[in-house]
Amino acid sequence: MADTTAAYDSITRASLEEKASTKWSTYPGKIGAFVAEMDYGVAEPIRQVLKDLDARDLYGYPPADIVTALREATAGFYAQRYGWNIAADHVDTISDVLSGLGAVLDVFAPAGGKVILPTPAYMPFMTLPGMHDREIVEVPLHRNDAAGRWDFDFAALDAAMATGGPDGTSGGVLIMCNPHNPIGKVYSREEMEQIAAIVAKHGGRVFSDEIHAPLVYDGAEHVPYATINADTAAHTITATSHSKSFNTPGLKCAQILFSNDEDLALWQKKCVFTSHGASNPGIMAGTAAYTKGLDWLAATKDYLQGNRDLVAQRLSEELPEVVYIKPSGTYLGWIDCSALGIDGNVQEYFLEHAGIAFTDGELCGAVGAKHVRLNQGLPRPILNELLDRFIASAKEALGK
């Protein structure tokens, strides 16, 4: 871990700006802390497999062997880490989680049904359902400051699903994001059992986004929603990827997991072209990540946990006016700036006054007003610089 800390700490803003990824080129001269990618590069086995791709000249359509290898690697990763012994032939490839959600809405859910979305939510979840002619029903989570956690509103979910189907009938598609982007909540088995009972009662479906599952911190445990009981296996389609936890979003590859034979058969009949959306580099990188990148993942997760703890400590000690509940997973943080008295949009305020590019909380649902999402996947010296700027600008807004 010491070597990882030193290596990550040594990454400079100049080097990141020179690479010019979206995170560091969208807002020139600002600290990029919005789009969800880390600044730490990738595990060496991923670099090596991309060299192997070039050596094999694999620039055509993917051969069956690399797709099979990724399916087996994904199944093995889920079995080892989460105890889900899913068959490799129940795993397929997609370009990204959002393409999986689009297919689920088009193929697996009745036309005219609604999408039930716990908020604050990952920004595209607020817009993609409308592109598929689906109305969104927001179910806000409740912040429990005394307990330092987020509580799910089961009654609101029950009410939403009671009229979530076509023409106001029961049903709908619940998007489960676990760990939850942007708040970092990791759902307990008990919470998911209650959710499952409500979904089953109303004959609904669940799209389980588990893209951040490998990034769960000490004291929390990721349990795949589809494994809770027979009901969840029947009504769930799961999507995941190596893109966030192994820092490969530009390689365009995710995995979709089927927990019942009927869904798999329908997928194979209706979604052939969706399953061909993954790229060769992404497919091969996924196999390398899930089989040979685990040491890198462990060290990187430890570093991210240190970043999370740093943010919590500094905000608590130096800016108690804002509210930041420690995320149990992801490298994202959710900050309530409503007590700062900033007129207008807080993301724009900090972009202008602090030179920090956060994600605008308003993009995450109605409950996101006066909030920002912080990408904590920064080198720690840059994260400290960000906190210095944020705290100073916030105190200026407070008149301190």
Strand partners, 32: 357
At CA 105, angle to CA 103 and CA 109, rounded to 5?
Answer: 120
Is 119 a member of any domain? yes
Q: For the segment 143-201, what is each residue's pLDDT rounded down to a tens digit?
A: 999 999 999 999 999 999 999 999 999 999 999 999 999 999 999 999 999 999 999 99
- pLDDT over threshold 80, residue 276: yes
**How far apart are alpha carbons 324 and 165 in whole angstroms?**
36
- Residue 263, both tokens: 């869904």
Q: Give the pLDDT mean for 30-43.
A: 98
Q: Are residues 384 and 307 in the same domain?
A: yes
Is 377 a member of any domain? yes
Q: Are residues 269 and 332 in the same domain?
A: no
Q: What was the pLDDT predicted at 1?
A: 65
Q: For the segment 235-265, what is each residue's pLDDT rounded down to a tens digit?
A: 999 999 999 999 999 999 999 999 999 999 9
Q: For the segment 365-387, what is each residue's pLDDT rounded down to a tens digit?
A: 999 999 999 999 999 999 999 99
- pLDDT over threshold 80, residue 73: yes
- pLDDT over threshold 90, residue 400: no
Q: For the segment 316-343, what is each residue's pLDDT rounded down to a tens digit?
A: 999 999 999 999 999 999 999 999 999 9
- Which CATH number characterizes residue 177's domain? 3.40.640.10
Of 277, 292, 307, the position where a domain reaches its end is 292
Contact 361, 373 (CB under 8 A): yes
Q: For the segment 297-314, what is each residue's pLDDT rounded down to a tens digit?
A: 999 999 999 999 999 999
Phi and psi torsions of 117, nearest 5°: -125, 110
0.95 surpassed by pTM: yes
Q: Are residues 241 and 329 in the same domain?
A: no
Q: Are residues 140 and 208 in the same domain?
A: yes
Q: What was the pLDDT predicted at 303?
A: 98
**What does the mean pLDDT of the chain come to?**
97
Q: Nearest Cα to 291, choosing from 45, 85, 54?
A: 45
- pLDDT over threshold 80, residue 2: no
- Residue 365, both tokens: 């649902």
pLDDT category at 347 given cuts 50, 70, 90 is very high
**How far apart are alpha carbons 308 and 380 in whole angstroms?**
10
- Which CATH number characterizes residue 388's domain? 3.90.1150.10
The DSSP string of 123-189 is HHHHHHHHHTT--EEEEE-EEETTTTEEE--HHHHHHHHHT-SGGG-S--EEEEESSBTTTTB---H
Q: Are residues 187 and 199 in the same domain?
A: yes
Contact 209, 176 (CB under 8 A): yes
Q: Give the pLDDT mean for 20-36.
A: 97
Domain count of the fold of the chain: 2
Domain that includes residue 127, residue range: 58-292
Q: Are residues 243 and 298 in the same domain?
A: no
